[in-house]
Amino acid sequence: MSELKNISCTAKTGRIQLLATASTATLLAAVLCAGVAEAFDGDLGNPTVWIDLGGQLERVDGGQQPYAPPFTLISPTPAPYIPNSPLALQHPGRYSYGGEVKISVHPHGDDWVFNAAIRYGRSNNKKHAHQETKFGSFPLFPSYTFVPLPQKFSDTNTKNSESHLVLDFQAGKDVGLGQWGRHGYSMVEAGLRFAQFNSQSAAAIYARPDFQLSYANFGSLKLPVKYFTNFNGQAINQRSFSGIGPSLSWDASAVVGGNAEMGEISFDWGLNGALLFGRQKSEGNHKTIAYAYIQRYFNTHRPTDIPNSNGLGYSTTYRTNVPHERSRSVMVPNVGAFAGVSFRQGAAKVSFGYRADFFFGAVDDGVDVRHTVDRNFYGPFAKISVGLGG
């Protein structure tokens, strides 16, 4: 796949993200304006509009299949692949960081609530490992040693990035009927959820994992015949999922200590589920080149592209260039939960907790063939909330 196509794909993804962000901002602004219009009556103890700003550190699970050209799968494992094998170095980042914004409107005089929320996270990582064996030697004369022999080595560079965007639009009703205390609630909500996942990976692997040495004897003189192969493997992959579908959630909060004047401490928890319908894409390219070398005595011969040419002992040189592009409509189930603690003083609140979201079969992480994996996010979060009006 050409560099121009890769740039085009990246630009297209950027336009989609920009459009989603702009649309979300417009909807959030509309909800906020609607809430502010009602936010100048009554008691600040029961605000009409809540604005939440938060951040999270999340573990990202699901992974991706590594680019595994044949020379990385040699068994037993060659010395230059220890301790860092080219496959293990391709593991994507384990943690992402990001933020969230949520606006909730509670119309005055009833138990209904309307929410609009956006959550965004990303992770990036780079790895580089160069490993090689020590120089070897061979006897040229009984009392003289010739140094050096070619080293076995591996050099691996990898780069991975991931981003995820989750939008929620919901309407719900407090069914707790005050059973959780003055500021407690039990809210059942239904609406729409949109999710978008993007990831990119690149790997460049250079290696000389094998080296063989034999001798041609001329009396007491030994002349070396050396065999080794240099490998060059490179891969670029882009994966994405975008989907939208119905969602259902239950959020609850119960006051466990304090009072309205001095501040209250609440225990918060919730469950959520959604069924997302969307498109799963994977595209990329990988190429592998092997250069076999034979050094007879002190002359180096580089092989042609013709295997075993003229019986001169040339090893086979191979070149592969394999692009792929897949797209499929999929249905992705999503479930999640959270638990946390909040401290509220008047129309301000600070919350801390732990949250998990699981998207089953969301990403095609395969290289040459389709292979789906889950995309899971879980970790701690913190947010501040400010209430407007009453």
Extract the tokens encoding 226.
């050396």
pLDDT of residue 342: 94
pLDDT of residue 162: 94
Amino acid at residue number 333: P
341-388 residue pLDDT tens: 999 988 899 999 999 999 999 999 988 899 999 999 999 999 999 998
Give 195's pLDDT tier (boundaries 50, 70, 90). Answer: very high
Bridge-based pairing of strands 49-61 and 95-105 is: antiparallel
pLDDT of residue 118: 96
Reference 380, options 358, 364, 363, 356; nearest CA is: 356
Phi-psi region of 177 (alpha: psi -120 to 50; beta: other; left: phi over 0): left
Residues 6+ apart with CB under 8 A from 186: 174, 175, 176, 179, 180, 250, 251, 252
Would you call 118 helix, strand, or coil by DSSP?
strand
Q: Using the 8-state DSSP alphabet, how is residue 309 labeled?
A: G
* Average of per-residue pLDDT values in the chain: 80
What average pLDDT does range 229-247 have in this prediction?
94
Q: Using the 8-state DSSP alphabet, how is residue 312 labeled?
A: S
pLDDT of residue 316 exceeding 60: no
What average pLDDT does range 138-146 have in this prediction?
55
pLDDT of residue 29 exceeding 50: no
Give 35's pLDDT tier (boundaries 50, 70, 90). Answer: very low
pLDDT of residue 293 exceeding 90: no
pLDDT of residue 107: 85
Length of the chain: 390
Extract the tokens encoding 86.
């080219």
Reference 208, options 322, 146, 293; nearest CA is: 293
Residues 6+ apart with CB under 8 A from 275: 245, 246, 331, 332, 333, 334
pLDDT of residue 10 exceeding 50: no
How distant, in Å, are the alpha carbons of 208, 289, 295, 296, 304 from that of 227? 11, 17, 7, 9, 15
pLDDT of residue 302 exceeding 50: no
Which run of H or E residues covers position 103? strand 95-105
Would you call 65 helix, strand, or coil by DSSP?
coil
**From 138-152, 156-170, 321-335, the region with the lowest mean pLDDT:** 138-152
What average pLDDT does range 271-283 have in this prediction?
96
pLDDT of residue 190: 96
**Could you give the percent of the chain with pLDDT greater than 70?**
72
pLDDT of residue 246: 97
144-164 residue pLDDT tens: 555 456 678 999 999 999 999
Break the chain into its structural domains and give their ranges: 3-388
Residues 6+ apart with CB under 8 A from 129: 84, 89, 154, 155, 156
| Rounded Cα gap, residues 365 and 369, in angstroms | 9
CB distance 67 to 286 below 8 Å: yes
71-116 residue pLDDT tens: 999 888 888 898 889 999 998 888 999 999 999 998 876 778 999 9
Give 137's pLDDT tier (boundaries 50, 70, 90). Answer: low
